[in-house]
């Protein structure tokens, strides 16, 4: 029996190695095809570093290539169609990362785009490996550790991961910060509350709607006072820094004005879809190491289909009812859902006090609920933020014969497969993850993490 188990283990390892090799090879091709969204993060950081407001900037030929982003080049295409549905006189552009996130990029934003793209690509795999290692370190059970490795490798074949690599997006960094907060709070107890508080502050400053994660901790503020005090202190000091600096104050005014315009544009878009972009080429034949003609040839010779869905409530509403959900109704629905979940959690806790894993997972679930109600379109790459939550969801499960395990696996499968007859399959997978993790949060029969 031992020999048979070792053979199964070896076979599983070989299969995982093949899957990972395939994912890396595929992703190298995607990275070589120019991850466009990474460029607007770099341009935003450069503008901010140089003392210019990034969120309503539009490139001018006199600015040279340093601030050039071909995805924001609002030109008229040869067929007379505008490159985007953004009005020509609009101030908005594609830069949406927070000023704090741009500040994190200051040390590297002056590197050539090609160098940055390679670092970003391998950094994604490094962060994924770190997350698997951190969460696997929360249990001593070898079978659970091996399960987490399997789930982690399989995550690289989800459409969320492919979309992340193809676009060069930032959402795995958000997932990593979520994972750091989870790990610190679960594993290190008192010290972890301070470290977790610092991680939570960084997370919220890079993703402001993440403030929702603190709601369940307020119900137990006495027990988790170090965590809440650390986070509050961090926000206060950063707030003082903003108010005392005219530059920072102007940046955040520009940021929130830009986000208001983004909401307006996405809500006014036709058919529940985000504002369309028609790429008409580049003004430069070489963008800091990216040969544009070579990129186009590679895209044609190695076409890789990346499926994407916009998993927002207002998009789902439009698909069902064929009319737009008014923005006030969207906000009210979000507020009601969050309040309802917090209320149910409060009454559930009166009978059986939840452990730290359940509390912190519930906090991040509230953040994900807020994001699903986001009035700005969520593309497929946003779904990578489920990665640490799904992994940690397997930790307290006694075995695979329960609904939570089934929902988590089903969500993973739905985010991998592409069956044309199954509409919004990846969004359905996200709701499977949400359902399974809510079951975990409200459960009273899960084993403790060792």
Q: What angle do CA 346, 347, 351 make, to 5 degrees?
A: 115
On whether the CB atoms of residues 184 and 196 are closer than 8 A, the answer is yes
Cβ pair 319, 273 in contact under 8 A: no
Choose among 194, 191, 203: nearest CA to 233.
194
Task: Dump the DSSP string for 60-76.
Answer: -GGG-GGG--GGG---B
What pTM value is reported for the model?
0.90
Alpha carbon 311 to chain centroid distance?
Answer: 13
Q: What is the DSSP string of 248-271?
A: HHHHHHHHHHHHHHHHHHHHHSGG
Q: What is the DSSP letter of 449?
A: P
Q: Can you tell me the distance from the alpha carbon of 220 to that of 211, in angstroms, rounded to the nearest whole number?
A: 16
Expressed in angstroms, the distance from the first to the final Cα of the chain is 27
267, two tokens: 């809500």
Q: Are 46 and 110 a contacting pair, CB within 8 Å?
A: yes
User: What is the rounded distance in angstroms from the CA atom of residue 132 to the CA atom of residue 145?
Assistant: 9
Per-residue pLDDT in tens (0 to 9) along the chain, 450 residues: 444 578 888 888 899 999 999 999 999 999 988 888 899 999 999 999 998 999 888 888 888 889 888 776 544 333 333 334 444 445 678 888 999 999 999 999 999 999 999 999 999 999 999 999 999 999 888 888 999 999 999 999 999 999 999 999 999 999 999 999 999 999 877 788 999 999 999 999 999 999 999 999 998 888 889 999 999 999 999 999 999 988 999 999 999 988 888 888 888 776 555 655 444 456 777 788 887 888 888 888 778 888 888 888 999 988 888 888 899 999 999 999 999 999 999 887 777 788 889 999 999 999 999 999 999 888 899 999 999 999 999 988 877 778 899 999 999 999 999 888 888 899 999 999 999 999 999 887 555 444
Structure tokens at 359: 């509390």
Cβ proximity of 96 and 206 under 8 Å: no
The pLDDT score that the predictor gives to residue 211 is 94
Rounded alpha-carbon distances, angstroms, from residue 277 to 94, 264, 265, 272, 274: 11, 17, 13, 15, 9
Nearest to 176, CA basis, from 438, 380, 424, 364: 364
For residue 255, count CB atoms less than 10 angstroms from its CB and return exposed for 0-12, middle for 13-18, buried for 19 or more. Answer: buried
Cα–Cα separations (whole angstroms), residue 255 to 55, 100, 234, 252: 6, 11, 20, 5
pLDDT attached to residue 36:
83
Q: From 306, 435, 317, 433, select the one nearest 375 (Cα to Cα).
A: 317
pLDDT of residue 270: 62
Three-class DSSP labels, 49-61: HCCCCCCCCCCCH
Q: 3-class SS at 277?
A: strand
What pLDDT score does 307 carry?
86
Residue 373 to residue 330: CA distance in whole angstroms: 7
| CA neighbor of 346 nearest in space, from 181, 216, 192 | 216
Quote the Cα angle for 174-267-88, to 5°. 100
Q: In 10 A of CB 47, how many CB atoms?
A: 20
Give the pLDDT score at 84.
42
């Amino acid at each position: 029996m031992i020999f048979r188990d070792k053979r199964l283990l070896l076979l599983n390892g070989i299969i995982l190695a093949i899957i990972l090799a395939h994912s890396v090879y595929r992703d190298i091709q995607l990275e070589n095809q120019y991850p466009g969204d990474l460029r607007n993060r770099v341009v935003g950081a450069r503008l901010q570093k140089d003392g210019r407001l990034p969120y309503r900037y539009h490139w001018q030929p006199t600015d040279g290539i340093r601030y050039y982003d071909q995805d924001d080049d609002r030109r008229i295409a040869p067929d007379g169609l505008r490159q985007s549905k953004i009005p020509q006189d609009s101030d908005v552009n594609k830069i949406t990362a927070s000023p704090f996130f741009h500040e994190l990029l200051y040390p590297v934003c002056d590197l050539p785009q090609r160098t940055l793209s390679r670092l970003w690509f391998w950094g994604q795999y490094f962060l994924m490996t770190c997350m698997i290692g951190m969460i696997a370190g929360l249990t001593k059970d070898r079978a659970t550790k091996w399960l987490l490795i399997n789930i982690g490798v399989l995550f690289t074949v989800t459409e969320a991961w492919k979309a992340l690599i193809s676009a060069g997006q930032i959402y795995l960094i958000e997932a990593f910060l979520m994972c750091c907060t989870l790990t610190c709070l679960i594993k290190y107890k008192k010290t972890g509350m301070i470290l977790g508080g610092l991680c939570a502050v960084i997370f919220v400053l890079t993703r402001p709607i993440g403030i929702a994660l603190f709601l369940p901790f307020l119900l137990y503020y006495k027990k988790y006072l170090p965590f809440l005090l650390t986070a509050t202190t961090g926000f206060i000091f950063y707030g003082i820094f903003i108010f005392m600096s005219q530059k920072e104050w102007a940046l955040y005014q520009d940021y929130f004005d830009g986000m208001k315009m983004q909401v307006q544009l996405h809500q006014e878009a036709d058919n529940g879809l985000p504002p369309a972009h028609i790429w008409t080429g580049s003004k430069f034949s070489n963008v800091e190491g990216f040969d544009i003609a070579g990129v186009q040839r590679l895209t044609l010779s190695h076409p890789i289909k990346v499926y994407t869905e916009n998993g927002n409530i207002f998009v789902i509403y439009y698909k069902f009812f064929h009319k737009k959900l008014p923005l006030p109704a969207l906000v009210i629905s979000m507020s009601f859902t969050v309040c309802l979940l917090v209320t149910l959690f409060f009454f559930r806790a009166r009978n059986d006090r939840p452990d730290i894993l359940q509390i912190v997972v519930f906090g991040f679930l509230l953040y994900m609920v807020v994001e699903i109600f986001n009035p700005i379109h969520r593309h497929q790459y946003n779904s990578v933020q489920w990665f640490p939550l799904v992994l940690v969801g397997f930790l307290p499960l006694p075995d695979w014969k329960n609904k939570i395990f089934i929902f988590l696996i089903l969500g993973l499968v739905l985010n991998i497969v592409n069956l044309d007859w199954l509409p919004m399959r990846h969004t359905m997978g996200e709701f499977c993850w949400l359902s399974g993790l809510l079951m975990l949060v409200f459960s009273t029969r899960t084993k403790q993490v060792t």
